[in-house]
């Protein structure tokens, strides 16, 4: 049970081809396996911020309809409330992900994200040697999906500017080898 709701069986998600499964282990349902809750970093009456695991979609997507690691459904079941995604993180990306608990908060936060008025900071381990701080100005090209974007017109590149500065170097006195 997840928040007093019966979870669908694994067979519902993994056997969409209606093939016969003789493996008794496949009869174990999601109800029988405890689901690890998503880590909530912040929550109030209007907003929930979580630590999104790498490899998870924020919401269902035509890019991979078979995927079962969906943050929106899992968190909704975990907190027992309807949620509004405020922004997205790519599937391979982990990090802070925000959801609003009502439409007004979703609109307000969405407006801030669209206006780029929120400051976002990232920490990364990089391979190689970064000597000085700098800037990367590399627009993001839109990669059209054959199904989801077939009716969309031309889409301009999205501006993407990243300022960086090294915090430490492996092999230095900060991080000896």
Per-residue tokens: 78: 């975990």
How many Cβ atoms sit within 10 Å of the Cβ of residue 53? 16
Beta bridge partners of 136: 162
Sheet architecture: strand order including 47-52: 39-43, 47-52, 95-100, 84-85
To the query of whether residue 90 is one of the catalytic residues in this protein, the response is: yes
The whole-angstrom separation of Cα 144 and Cα 142 is: 6
Residue 103: strand, helix, or coil? helix
H/E element holding 79?
helix 71-79
**Which residue has tokens 């709701």?**
5
Identified catalytic residue from 90, 145, 149, 174: 90
Question: Which are the contacts of 149, defined by CB distance < 8 A and separation ≥ 6?
Answer: none
Which of the residues are catalytic? 90
């Amino acid at each position: 049970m997840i928040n007093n709701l019966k979870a669908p069986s694994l067979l519902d998600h993994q056997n969409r081809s209606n093939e016969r499964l003789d493996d008794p282990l496949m009869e174990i349902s999601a109800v029988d396996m405890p689901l690890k809750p998503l880590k909530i970093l912040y929550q109030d009456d209007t907003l929930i911020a979580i630590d999104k695991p790498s490899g998870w979609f924020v919401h269902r997507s035509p890019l991979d309809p078979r995927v079962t690691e969906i943050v929106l459904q899992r968190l909704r079941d975990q907190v027992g409330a309807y949620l509004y995604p405020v922004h997205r993180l790519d599937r391979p990306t982990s990090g802070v992900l925000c959801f609003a608990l009502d439409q007004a908060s979703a609109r307000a936060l969405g407006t801030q994200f669209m206006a780029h008025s929120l400051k976002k900071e990232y920490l990364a381990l990089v391979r190689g040697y970064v000597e000085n701080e700098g800037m990367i100005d590399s627009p993001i090209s839109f990669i059209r999906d054959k199904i989801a974007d077939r009716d969309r017109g031309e889409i301009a590149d999205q501006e993407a500017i990243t300022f960086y500065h090294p915090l430490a170097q492996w092999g230095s006195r900060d991080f000896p080898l």
